[in-house]
Amino acid sequence: MHQVTSDKPEIVHVIAYYPPHLGGMENCAAHLADGCVERGYRVSVYTSDRGYSRQTALHSKVQVHYLKAWEWAHTPIIFTLVFHLLALPRRTLIHLHISQAFAPEVVYLVSKLRGIPYVAHMHLDVDPSGPFGFLLGPYKRLFLKRVLHAAAKVICLSEPQQQLIAKKYHLSPEAIAVIPNGVAGEYFVGAKAEENAVPRLLFVGRLSPKKISRSSSRRLH
């Protein structure tokens, strides 16, 4: 496990997809990257070019490298990612966003070769789906477990997720930090004069095998 130095490092986010590609993980990473810039860090992002176009690209405070990728089994294979990361200065901290394979293993390899530390941000620990879903179990046991153990810190979104990841991948709870997804201030509005007697809940998102448990999926069908 590589340690993070006390000096202010350059922060490099590595993520499979990034805005304008749609998704909660993508928006979370973008807010984190912009927030680090506001706090005086040098920040860059390395991601795939899936969903990217000059017409839809959003203005960003960070330098985003959209690298050519080929998508296979819901996984973007970013061919040149390893070369870009190997060229990073050693005084760098990699913020690895985990939901798909390939990028985590590249970061792990570069960390071993260059001694660059990384934090592993667990957004999703998905269940198998699609015709190649049978590969997911062996992948997690053989590769993802190594990636998590080698991280300077693992970030989970909640205490239940922390307990699940610690048990599943044999991690010490002390190696995991719980940092819930935040909500930007511009999404809050002033209190309404009248409140509903019965609270109303609104869910915005997509229902898919990646997002819900198998038992919930059966009930929805």
User: What domains are there in the chain, each with its CATH number?
Assistant: 10-185 (3.40.50.2000)
Mean pLDDT of 36-43: 93
What is the average pLDDT value for the chain, to the nearest integer? 85
Categorize the per-residue pLDDT at 181 as very low, low, confident or very high, splitting at 50, 70 and 90.
confident
Structure tokens at 126: 């998905």
Name the helix (H) or strand (E) containing 168.
helix 159-168
Does residue 120 surpass a pLDDT of 90?
yes
What is the percent of the chain with per-residue pLDDT over 70, rounded to a whole number?
Answer: 81
Q: Pinpoint the alpha helices (H) of 39-93.
A: 81-86
Cα 17 from Cα 66, distance rounded (Å): 9
- CA torsion, points 131, 135, 136, 139, in degrees to nearest 10? -160
Tokens coding 211: 């997002």
pTM, two decimals, is: 0.81
Evaluate whether 8 touches 41 at the Cβ level (below 8 Å).
Answer: yes
Cα–Cα distances in Å, from 207 out to 140, 210, 213?
A: 23, 8, 10
Mean of the pLDDT values across residues 109-138? 88
Q: How far apart are CA 133 and CA 169, in angstroms?
A: 19
Which residue do the tokens 């985590």 mark? Answer: 104
Q: How far apart are the C-alpha atoms of 191 and 189, rounded to whole Å?
A: 7
Cα 52 from chain centroid (whole Å):
18
Cα–Cα distance for residue pair 43/48, rounded to 1 Å? 17
pLDDT bracket for residue 136 (50, 70, 90) = confident
H or E element that contains 32? helix 24-38
In which band, very low, low, confident or very high, does the pLDDT at 182 lie, cut at 50, 70 and 90?
confident
What pLDDT, on a 0 to 100 scale, did the predictor assign at position 146? 97
For residue 110, pLDDT beyond 90? yes
CB 2 within 8 A of CB 116: yes
- Give the whole-angstrom CA distance, residue 135 versus residue 138: 6
Q: Using 50, 70 and 90 to split pLDDT, how confident is the model at 6?
A: low
Residue 217 has pLDDT above 50, yes or no: no
Selected residue with higher pLDDT from 149 and 185:
149
Please give the average per-residue pLDDT across 186-214, as a whole number. Answer: 67
Is residue 131 exposed (0-12), middle (13-18) or buried (19+ Cβ within 10 Å)?
A: exposed
